[in-house]
C-alpha cells in the first residue's frame, strides 16, 4: 500500500473508548481518500436527518493519500460532518502541518463519535492514544490551547514536533458560525463544524508520530515533484502574485472587474481601492511567507510591522478576510480587518459566516429595521470598532450578541426581512458577486457545501484565464465548465492537495505525480469520474437531509437588482436559467435528484 497508511482510529467519546481499524482497499480505490472517503463513511454511518449537535452526528478527520508524501501542496486534511449552520454535509479543509503529522502518526483517518461527559483532548503521541480530560483548556483561545498543551509536555523537543487542531470559545458555546483552527490557520469552508466539535466536548486533537509514508516509485516521484516545483515557479500568478501577497492580491483585480462586494452586496465597486490594493498591501506589510506542509507557493503571510496602513502582528488578512470581514461590511481600514481576522482565528469563528452575519445586521440597521435597543450593539457600515466588538461578543455568546451568533439567515428572518440574507443554504456567500461571475453564481447555488468559492474556483478561468479564457458575463458553456471544475476540486481535495496549485498547474500535470505515488495507472477521465461519484454522493446526502431544488437559489437581490455602478454595471445573475442544463449534465432529474442508476453506482 503506497501513499496510504490504511489505518483508521475510531474514538467513541460516550464510552471513553477507541479502537484501530483497517480501511478496506476497495473504499480507497473507489473514493481516493480525504474528502471522498470521509463523505462515504458519513453517508453510510449516520442518518442525514440527525440533529448536527446531537451525539449521533459523527466528526471525521481524514488526510488524503498524497498528504505527507512531499507531493507539491499535499498538506490538506479534510473534516467531514453534518454542518450545524446549514444542515447540509460539511467538509472543511485544514491547512498547515496537521494533515501530514496525522499520516506520520500512523493514521489516515480519525472518526469521532458520541459525546464526552466533560471536555477532553484526544492525544496521539508516538502511537500512544489517550483521551485526556481538558477542563483547564475549556474557554481558552486557540493559540492559548496550543501553547498550554505544548508546555504540558515534559520533552520540549517532542513539543516542537506536535501539531494541534482545536476549537475556540465559539465552538465550545455551540455558536453555529464556529470553525476549527490548526497551527493558527483558519480552516477553509469550516462554518458549522466548530460547534459540532464543541457539542462532543472535544477541545482539541494533538498528533505526533514516527511512521513513514511510502511511495510506489520513489525515483520517478522525486523527478515529477521537481518538475512540478519548477512549473509552479514559471507561472507568474503563483511565483509573483501569490508568493508575494497571498490571495490578497485579488482585491484590486476583483475591484477592477466589479466582483468585489461592498456593503452586503449592495454595490460592487468602491473608490478607495488604493488603500487596499496590492500597492497598499506591499507598503503596509513587510511580508514574511509561511508555507503549509510541502508547499512551494507559501501564500500565507505574517506581518510584523507598524505603519500607517497596518498596526499589529499576526497573519496578514487574505482575500477572503478583506472581502468578507472588510469591504462587505463597508470597512476599508486594513488594521481593523487584520484585527477582526485575528479575533476569528483566536475565538474560532468562520470569517465568511461571521462577516456575512455582521453585514446583514449592518444593512438592517442602515434601513432602520434594527434599533440599538434590540441588539444593544451598534452596526454601522464602515465602522471597524462595531465589527470587532460584535465578533468578540458573538464568540463568547454574551448578552444580546447571542442572537446574532445564530447566523445571518436567522437574524434576517427574526427581523422579518429574509431577503436581506445574502447566502445559499443558510451560509453567507464568499466575497464574489455572482452577478458579474456567472459561473461562480451557478456554483454557489449548486454547491453541496454552501456558497464557498474554493469548492470550484471558477475565478481562475473566468477572470485570470489560467487554463482557458472565459467571459465572466456569459452563461454559454458555463454549466459544463462548473461541473468539470467541481469534479476536479473533489479529486484534488480527496487526494489532499491545495486548490491554489490549480492557478499554476493543469489537472493533467498532477496525473504522473498521483500515479507514481500510489502505484496506479489512473487517467484524467478515471479521476474525474471518481470526482463526479463523490459529488453525487454528497448531493444524495443533502437530498436525504431534506434539501431539494428549492434550496438551489440565490437571494432575490442577485436576480432582480442589476449592479448599480462600476465596471459590471447592469449585470444580473442568470444562475436560475443555467440550472436545468446543469442538472441534465449531472444526470439528475428536474428536481435535482440523482437518478436510480447513479445511486446504485455509488
Please, which residue, 72 or 404, has the CB nearer to another protein? 72
| Residue of 32, 294, 322, 598 interacting with another protein (CB under 8 A) | 294
- Closest-CA residue to 4 (of 110, 127, 108): 108
Q: For residue 329, give every residue at least 6 positions away whose Cβ sits within 8 Å of its Cβ, in sequence order, or none.
A: 263, 264, 355, 358, 359, 362, 381, 382, 387
Q: How far apart are CA 358 and CA 369, in angstroms?
A: 14
Half-sphere exposure (Cβ direction) of 33: Cα atoms closer than 13 Å:
30
| Residue of 16, 49, 212, 474 interacting with another protein (CB under 8 A) | 212
Please, which residue, 74 or 169, has the CB nearer to another protein? 74
Q: How far apart are CA 484 and CA 446, in angstroms?
A: 13
Please, which residue, 295 or 411, has the CB nearer to another protein? 295
* Binding flag, residue 296, another protein (CB under 8 A): yes
Report in angstroms how near the CB of residue 227 gets to another protein at its nearest. Answer: 11
| Residue of 12, 147, 152, 233 interacting with another protein (CB under 8 A) | 233
Distance of CA 533 to the CA centre of its chain: 21
Report in angstroms how near the CB of residue 516 gets to another protein at its nearest. Answer: 10
Is residue 441 within 8 A of residue 558, CB to CB? The reply is yes
Is residue 166 within 8 A of residue 107, CB to CB? The reply is no
* Binding flag, residue 503, another protein (CB under 8 A): no
Please, which residue, 304 or 385, has the CB nearer to another protein? 304
| Residue of 24, 133, 218, 595 interacting with another protein (CB under 8 A) | 218
Q: For residue 449, give every residue at least 6 positions away whose Cβ sits within 8 Å of its Cβ, in sequence order, or none.
A: 83, 88, 89, 90, 91, 189, 427, 455, 538
Report in angstroms how near the CB of residue 101 gets to another protein at its nearest. Answer: 9
* Binding flag, residue 210, another protein (CB under 8 A): yes
Please, which residue, 390 or 505, has the CB nearer to another protein? 505
| Residue of 55, 129, 148, 217 interacting with another protein (CB under 8 A) | 217
* Binding flag, residue 236, another protein (CB under 8 A): no
Report in angstroms how near the CB of residue 157 gets to another protein at its nearest. Answer: 6
* Binding flag, residue 528, another protein (CB under 8 A): no
Is residue 575 within 8 A of residue 458, CB to CB? The reply is no
Is residue 63 within 8 A of residue 34, CB to CB? The reply is yes
| Residue of 18, 104, 249, 319 interacting with another protein (CB under 8 A) | 104
* Binding region for another protein (CB under 8 A) out of 114-122, 227-235, 334-342, 380-388: 227-235
* Binding flag, residue 424, another protein (CB under 8 A): no
Q: How far apart are CA 588 and CA 598, in angstroms?
A: 9
Report in angstroms how near the CB of residue 316 gets to another protein at its nearest. Answer: 12
* Binding flag, residue 311, another protein (CB under 8 A): no
* Binding flag, residue 279, another protein (CB under 8 A): no
Interface with another protein in residues 141-170 (CB under 8 A) = 157, 160
Q: How far apart are CA 176 and CA 188, in angstroms?
A: 15
* Binding flag, residue 585, another protein (CB under 8 A): no
Is residue 116 within 8 A of residue 15, CB to CB? The reply is no
Q: What is the pairing mode between strands 109-113 and 7-12? A: parallel
Please, which residue, 21 or 304, has the CB nearer to another protein? 304
Size of the site for another protein (CB under 8 A): 39
Q: How many residues does the chain have?
A: 602
Q: For residue 584, give every residue at least 6 positions away whose Cβ sits within 8 Å of its Cβ, in sequence order, or none.
A: none
Q: What is the pairing mode between strands 163-166 and 202-208? A: antiparallel
Report in angstroms how near the CB of residue 145 gets to another protein at its nearest. Answer: 17
* Binding flag, residue 535, another protein (CB under 8 A): no
| Residue of 55, 291, 512, 567 interacting with another protein (CB under 8 A) | 291
* Binding flag, residue 304, another protein (CB under 8 A): yes
Q: What are phi and psi of 309, to 5 degrees?
A: -90, -35
Question: How many other β-carbons are positioned within 10 Å of the β-carbon of residue 565?
Answer: 12
Q: Is 140 exposed, middle or buried (0-12, 13-18, 19+ CB in 10 A)?
A: buried
- Closest-CA residue to 194 (of 375, 490, 397, 39): 397
Interface with another protein in residues 44-83 (CB under 8 A) = 68-70
Report in angstroms how near the CB of residue 314 gets to another protein at its nearest. Answer: 9
* Binding flag, residue 514, another protein (CB under 8 A): no
Q: For residue 482, give every residue at least 6 positions away whose Cβ sits within 8 Å of its Cβ, in sequence order, or none.
A: 439, 442, 443, 446, 456, 458, 582
Report in angstroms how near the CB of residue 162 gets to another protein at its nearest. Answer: 11
Q: How far apart are CA 254 and CA 97, in angstroms?
A: 30
* Binding flag, residue 12, another protein (CB under 8 A): no
Please, which residue, 175 or 287, has the CB nearer to another protein? 287
Report in angstroms how near the CB of residue 228 gets to another protein at its nearest. Answer: 11
Query: Which residue ranges make up the site for another protein (CB under 8 A)?
Result: 2, 68-70, 97, 100, 104, 157, 160, 210-219, 221-222, 225-226, 229, 232-233, 288-296, 298, 302, 304, 313
Amino acid at each position: 500500500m503506497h501513499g496510504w497508511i490504511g489505518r483508521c482510529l475510531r474514538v467513541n467519546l460516550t464510552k471513553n473508548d477507541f479502537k484501530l481499524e483497517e480501511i478496506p482497499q476497495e473504499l480507497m480505490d473507489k473514493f481516493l481518500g480525504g474528502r471522498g472517503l470521509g463523505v462515504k463513511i458519513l453517508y453510510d454511518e449516520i442518518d442525514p436527518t440527525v440533529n448536527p449537535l446531537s451525539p449521533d452526528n459523527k466528526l471525521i478527520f481524514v488526510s488524503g493519500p498524497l498528504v505527507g508524501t512531499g507531493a507539491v501542496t499535499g498538506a490538506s486534511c479534510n473534516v467531514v460532518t453534518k454542518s450545524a449552520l446549514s444542515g447540509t454535509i460539511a467538509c472543511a479543509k485544514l491547512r498547515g502541518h496537521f494533515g501530514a503529522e496525522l499520516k506520520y502518526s500512523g493514521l489516515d483517518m480519525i472518526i469521532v463519535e458520541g459525546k464526552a461527559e466533560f471536555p477532553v483532548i484526544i492525544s496521539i503521541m508516538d502511537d500512544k492514544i489517550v483521551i485526556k480530560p481538558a477542563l483547564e483548556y475549556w474557554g481558552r483561545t486557540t493559540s492559548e490551547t496550543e501553547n498550554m498543551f505544548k508546555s504540558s509536555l515534559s520533552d520540549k523537543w517532542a513539543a516542537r514536533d506536535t501539531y494541534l487542531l482545536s476549537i475556540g470559545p465559539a465552538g465550545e458555546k455551540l455558536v453555529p458560525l464556529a470553525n476549527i483552527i490548526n497551527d493558527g490557520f483558519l480552516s477553509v469552508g469550516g462554518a458549522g463544524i466548530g460547534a459540532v466539535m464543541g457539542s462532543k466536548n472535544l477541545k482539541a486533537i494533538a498528533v505526533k508520530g514516527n511512521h513513514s509514508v511510502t511511495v510506489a516509485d520513489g525515483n520517478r516521484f522525486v523527478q515529477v515533484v521537481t518538475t512540478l516545483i519548477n512549473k509552479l515557479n514559471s507561472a507568474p500568478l503563483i511565483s509573483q502574485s501569490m508568493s508575494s501577497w497571498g490571495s490578497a492580491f485579488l482585491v484590486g483585480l476583483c475591484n477592477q472587474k466589479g466582483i468585489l462586494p461592498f456593503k452586503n452586496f449592495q454595490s460592487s465597486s468602491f473608490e478607495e481601492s488604493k488603500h487596499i490594493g496590492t500597492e497598499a498591501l506591499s507598503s503596509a506589510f513587510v511580508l514574511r511567507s509561511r508555507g503549509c506542509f510541502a508547499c512551494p507557493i507559501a501564500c500565507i503571510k505574517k506581518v510584523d510591522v507598524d505603519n500607517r496602513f497596518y498596526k499589529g502582528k499576526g497573519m496578514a488578512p487574505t482575500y477572503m478576510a478583506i472581502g468578507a470581514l472588510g469591504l462587505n461590511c463597508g470597512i476599508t481600514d486594513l488594521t481593523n480587518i487584520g484585527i477582526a481576522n485575528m479575533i476569528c482565528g483566536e475565538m474560532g469563528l468562520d470569517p465568511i459566516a461571521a462577516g456575512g452575519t455582521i453585514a446583514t445586521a449592518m444593512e438592517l440597521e442602515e434601513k432602520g429595521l434594527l434599533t440599538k435597543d434590540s441588539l444593544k450593539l451598534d452596526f454601522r457600515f464602515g465602522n471597524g470598532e462595531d465589527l470587532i466588538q460584535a465578533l468578540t461578543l458573538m464568540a463568547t455568546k454574551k448578552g444580546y450578541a447571542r442572537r446574532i451568533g445564530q447566523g445571518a439567515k436567522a437574524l434576517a428572518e427574526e427581523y422579518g426581512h429574509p431577503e436581506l440574507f445574502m447566502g445559499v443554504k443558510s451560509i453567507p456567500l464568499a466575497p464574489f458577486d455572482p452577478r458579474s461571475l456567472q459561473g461562480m453564481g451557478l456554483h454557489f447555488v449548486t454547491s453541496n457545501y454552501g456558497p464557498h468559492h474554493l469548492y470550484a474556483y471558477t475565478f481562475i478561468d473566468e477572470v485570470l484565464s489560467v487554463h482557458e479564457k472565459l467571459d465572466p458575463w456569459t452563461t454559454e458553456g458555463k454549466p459544463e465548465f462548473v461541473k468539470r471544475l467541481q469534479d476536479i476540486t473533489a479529486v484534488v481535495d480527496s487526494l489532499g492537495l491545495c486548490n491554489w496549485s490549480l492557478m499554476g498547474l493543469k489537472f493533467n500535470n498532477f496525473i504522473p505525480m498521483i500515479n507514481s505515488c500510489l502505484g496506479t495507472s489512473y487517467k484524467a477521465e478515471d479521476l474525474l469520474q471518481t470526482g463526479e461519484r463523490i459529488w453525487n454522493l454528497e448531493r444524495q446526502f443533502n437530498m436525504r437531509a431534506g434539501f431539494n431544488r428549492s434550496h438551489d437559489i440565490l437571494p432575490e437581490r442577485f436576480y432582480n437588482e442589476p449592479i448599480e455602478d462600476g465596471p459590471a454595471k447592469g449585470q444580473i445573475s442568470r444562475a436560475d436559467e443555467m440550472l436545468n442544463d446543469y442538472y441534465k449534465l449531472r444526470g439528475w432529474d428536474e428536481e435535482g435528484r440523482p437518478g436510480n442508476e447513479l445511486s446504485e453506482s455509488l
